[in-house]
Structure 1
Amino acid sequence: MTSGPVDNIILLADCYKSSHYKVYPPGTTKLYAYFESRGGKFPYTVFFGLQYILKRWLCGPVVTKEMVKEAKQVMGQVFQRDDVFNEEGWNYIVEHHGGRLPLRIKAVPEGTVLPTRNVLFTVENTDPAVPWLSNFFETVLVQAWYPMTVATSSSVYRQLIGHYLRLTHHDDTLLEYMMHDAGYRGVSSVESAALGGAAHMISFKASDTVAGSSLLRKFYGLEGVAGHSTPSSEHSTVTSWGREGELQSHRHMLNVYEKGDAGCVCDSYDIWKCLEEMWGGELKELVEERGRRGGCVYLRPDSGDPKTVVLKCLEILGAAFGTETNAKGYKMLPPCVKVIQADGIDLHSLWDILEHIKAHGWSTVSVYYGAGGALLQKVDRDTQKCAYKVSYAEVSGKGVEVYKQPITDAGKTSKKGRLTLERDQDGTYNTVQHGKGDPAKDVLVPVFEDGALLHEYKFEEVRQRAEGGAQGFDVIKFLQEDKK
């Protein structure tokens, strides 16, 4: 297989970036840029994914004469003129730096949870002959928005489920398995699945997107896997037995996977008949026997109004298998059987379900969840309003603060000067502008310089840093305001 559609890093940028080296002020020797979330849907971010970009694209000798030659030809055709492409500048990098990028990047440690509107990483050139390089790779570096946004979204899912789990159950140790990533097929590419799947695994250990573990093994030092799944049926494995063979299909599933957990879809035809007569009747002994051996059967509805369907499933299974009332006064299914709802799940539908079953006396622990498109695909760069901007330059030996301040949108006003990210004794983060910060207090860590990775994060370190999400975050208040 080829490595991908783009192998030449000079082509990893919006085309117009190739024209910028000529239009900075004459005498410019330094450009310093930064990346931040300017706000957006969530009030905080879980920073993740920059290391993948650095290791995948920017580390080592990454520019060759052949690449320069190819890019010159491509850009000449793109612009339909021969005076745009910076052939001299790229050849300089090959000849004076051996194809390594003379850049310095500092970033917040991956897995850090911090409020929006704070600097997340900075980029500057280390060779005054190529100041334009600091801003050239904005396109690929900004793509950190995607894993960061998924990591943040999954963190909010965890906080929401955790909120109801603590209200309705005495133990939250199962929390990290209660939101399953079912988004592999619903994303735009395998790379998106790998990045989004890995980001979800920071908060949860349940996933069918094995590409996430593959990425973490290759780029974050993971041993083993970070997401787990269980043998499960789908509609084709049930309906291929025919309508009259539905019971036989479920029995067969339990027999061929006789140990541990198993997941079974139940709405191929009549879900209520399936739950009452098959799972709560003909198959009940098999389910209970599996439970005595430590296994559980997860029964999956896959259509209808989620909150209505989930509650009715609980009531039917509770009548068939019995219930236990926990110390907080909420009903639970026995450990051998649970419901898993993986259709139509986003933050608001999940909130509706959790509140609905709680209001009807059911503990959160009896229902697990899965999300696909809403988890990995229904996000974009504007979800967290991610932006990369130049904030400082040196022109003819003089430092210059660089910023934008649109009269039509104050929210797009950019930061000024050199930046430090500092953390007060109470844990509050603060981005200090104008070069007035204390370098000794700067939380930003040098991670890349002159083609070399300076600091490598292991996945378990990232996961531990992100654990717990944003302290003091009121997830219910957030959802109430987001619904308006």
Structure 2
Amino acid sequence: MNPILNTDSYKLGHFLQYPPGVQAVSTYVTTRGSSVMPEIVFFGLQMFLKAYLAQAVTAADIEEAEEVAHLHGQPFDRQGWTHILTKHGGHMPVRIEALPEGMVVRRGIPLVQVTNTDPACFWLPGHLETALLRAVWYPSTVASSLRHIRRTLMPFLEKSCDDPETLMPTRLSEYGARGATSLEQAGLGGAANLLLFENTDTLAAVLHARRYYGAKMAGFSVPASEHTTMTAWGQEREAQAFAHMVDQFGDYPAYSVVSDSYDIHNAVSELWGKLLQARVRGKPGLLIVRPDSGDPIDTPVQVVAQLAYHFGTRLNGKGFKVLDDKVRVLQADGVSLRDITMILGRLEGMGFSAENISFGVGASQLQKVSRDTFSFTMKSTAIQDGDGRWRDMSRRPVTMHEKLPDLGRRAVIEEEGELTSIRLEELGGRVNHLSPVWENGTLLKDWTFEEVRQRARARHRLYG
């Protein structure tokens, strides 16, 4: 991607629109409004910095951008981009400050602040808006939505499981790669999922966490069948297909077998529960029975009950039934958060622990979000004139009830256990959580995936 053209068309002409004498512009990314999810998880900036902003502009980029701009009907700042190439080696002269990634903050707090470092390039912060906002809103929104799911599920685990904190990261498996619009979206959204949950079949997710946050392995998978590999045996040989899975993968820690190709209840009661039970018990691995079709709430509950009848259960420390350690259930066919809570509620009412079942999510988590989910915005709020003085910049509110982003250059401080935004000039000796992470082509802070993950999972908002 030509870094000059990673923006909106109309921004190519903005270098001609500022008043004379402007030296710098300060702009920041934040969220607006309120919703049932008033907090957001900040995530994704480091991926953008390493993948895109680290790419220096070249002479060929300038030539291409000029041709595209003129054919497209826009002016082009050849002098400005040539200045960046010759004076800065093609690296954009900007300073980027940001909150620690993974931090959970309430709506309205600045997440990222951008200022140019070369007066000749005062237009750069605005030019970067398109790419920078896109880089932040999507992974942050996915992570925030999944944090909401995690917080919704936790009461079920706390009530019925001996070790809810250890179990929680394995309660949700992400299978969204095929439902994503692109490989990059699968990687960005999948990496956001891995902050809150650790089971995934999206290889792009673990590669993004590995490449951009240094995680040797951020997510885990198990050998698993699909309907194609099961129905290839034919209905008359379904038992052989299941037995083959046990033989091939029973020595792995866990393996998953989709079991509803023909009749899920026959498969559980007759095949897994009787014919193949000894074979399953003879292997060290955990069999995960996957009922995909049927009623998304009743069917998995019935499968848990059937497995309990055939394999037996034990009581955990909280008095709830836990399936034999050789079997568990995974429901992964289009379940919503409402479905999951209903399943867990029914199982709880029947005396079963939430640890007996886990769930799969796909495109619903990677696709059913937008920039408007949390009303992400990037606004220029301060401008430096020719005398070096900073002044506020903003439009006038349309109505008296409209709340615009806070003006001026911002800082984020802790105040009475909460993060709050203040003017930079008011910072004094207090710690500014908006700290420099990038300047003039150099990464100043390289977060590890584990650091980001710990903040995203922390229960206290200030630290997570």
Question: TM-score category by the smaller chain?
Answer: over 0.9
Q: CA RMSD in A?
A: 1.9
Match of 1:277 in 2: 270
Match of 1:99 in 2: 90
Judged with a 3 Å threshold, the aligned counterparts in structure 2 of structure 1 residues 153 and 429 are, in CA distance, closer, same or farther, namely: same
d(CA) in 2 for partners of 1:193, 1:336: 32
d(CA) in 1 for partners of 2:399, 2:304: 52
Q: Out of 298, 302, 318, which is 1:312 matched to?
A: 302
2:193 is aligned with 1:176: no
Does the CA-based 8 Å contact 2:108-2:405 persist in structure 1?
no
Greater CA drift, 236-245 or 166-175: 166-175
Return the letter of the residue paired with 1:138: E
d(CA) in 2 for partners of 1:343, 1:40: 31
Return the letter of the residue paired with 1:38: R
Does the CA-based 8 Å contact 1:25-1:395 persist in structure 2?
no
Does the CA-based 8 Å contact 1:393-1:400 persist in structure 2?
yes
Structure 1 position 175, deviation (Å): 1.7
Q: Out of 396, 402, 407, which is 1:416 matched to?
A: 407
SS of 1:33 mapped into structure 2: strand
Structure 1 position 405, deviation (Å): 4.6
Judged with a 3 Å threshold, the aligned counterparts in structure 2 of structure 1 residues 470 and 192 are, in CA distance, closer, same or farther, namely: farther
Match of 2:232 in 1: 240
Judged with a 3 Å threshold, the aligned counterparts in structure 2 of structure 1 residues 194 and 38 are, in CA distance, closer, same or farther, namely: same
Match of 1:204 in 2: 197
Return the letter of the residue paired with 2:411: T
Match of 1:335 in 2: 325
- 5+ residue gaps, structure 2, are none
Return the letter of the residue paired with 1:178: R
TM-score (norm 2): 0.94
Q: Out of 45, 50, 67, which is 1:50 matched to?
A: 45
Return the letter of the residue paired with 2:326: C
Return the letter of the residue paired with 1:229: S
d(CA) in 2 for partners of 1:342, 1:245: 24
Does the CA-based 8 Å contact 1:179-1:369 persist in structure 2?
yes
d(CA) in 2 for partners of 1:228, 1:156: 22
1:80-479 maps to which residues of 2 (within 5 A)? Answer: 84-143=75-134, 144-172=136-164, 173-223=166-216, 225-260=217-252, 261-290=254-283, 293=284, 295-397=285-387, 398-407=389-398, 410=401, 413-424=404-415, 426-433=416-423, 435-438=425-428, 440-469=430-459, 471=461
Structure 1 position 257, deviation (Å): 1.5
d(CA) in 1 for partners of 2:397, 2:311: 63
Aligned length: 458
Judged with a 3 Å threshold, the aligned counterparts in structure 2 of structure 1 residues 468 and 399 are, in CA distance, closer, same or farther, namely: closer
Greater CA drift, 135-144 or 376-385: 376-385
Match of 1:4 in 2: none
d(CA) in 2 for partners of 1:239, 1:10: 51
Return the letter of the residue paired with 2:153: I
Return the letter of the residue paired with 1:12: N
Judged with a 3 Å threshold, the aligned counterparts in structure 2 of structure 1 residues 196 and 76 are, in CA distance, closer, same or farther, namely: same
d(CA) in 2 for partners of 1:168, 1:125: 54
d(CA) in 2 for partners of 1:233, 1:212: 21
Greater CA drift, 9-18 or 406-415: 406-415
SS of 2:417 mapped into structure 1: coil
Match of 1:3 in 2: none
Structure 1 position 435, deviation (Å): 3.8
d(CA) in 2 for partners of 1:434, 1:102: 21
Structure 1 position 312, deviation (Å): 1.1
Structure 1 position 157, deviation (Å): 2.3
Judged with a 3 Å threshold, the aligned counterparts in structure 2 of structure 1 residues 449 and 439 are, in CA distance, closer, same or farther, namely: farther
d(CA) in 2 for partners of 1:57, 1:154: 26
Return the letter of the residue paired with 2:305: E
Return the letter of the residue paired with 1:341: Q
Does the CA-based 8 Å contact 1:46-1:111 persist in structure 2?
yes
Return the letter of the residue paired with 2:32: R
Judged with a 3 Å threshold, the aligned counterparts in structure 2 of structure 1 residues 52 and 362 are, in CA distance, closer, same or farther, namely: same
Greater CA drift, 340-349 or 118-127: 340-349
d(CA) in 2 for partners of 1:361, 1:405: 59
Q: Which 4+ stretches in 1 moved above 4 angstroms?
A: 408-412, 469-472
- 5+ residue gaps, structure 1, are 1-6, 473-484
Match of 2:28 in 1: 34
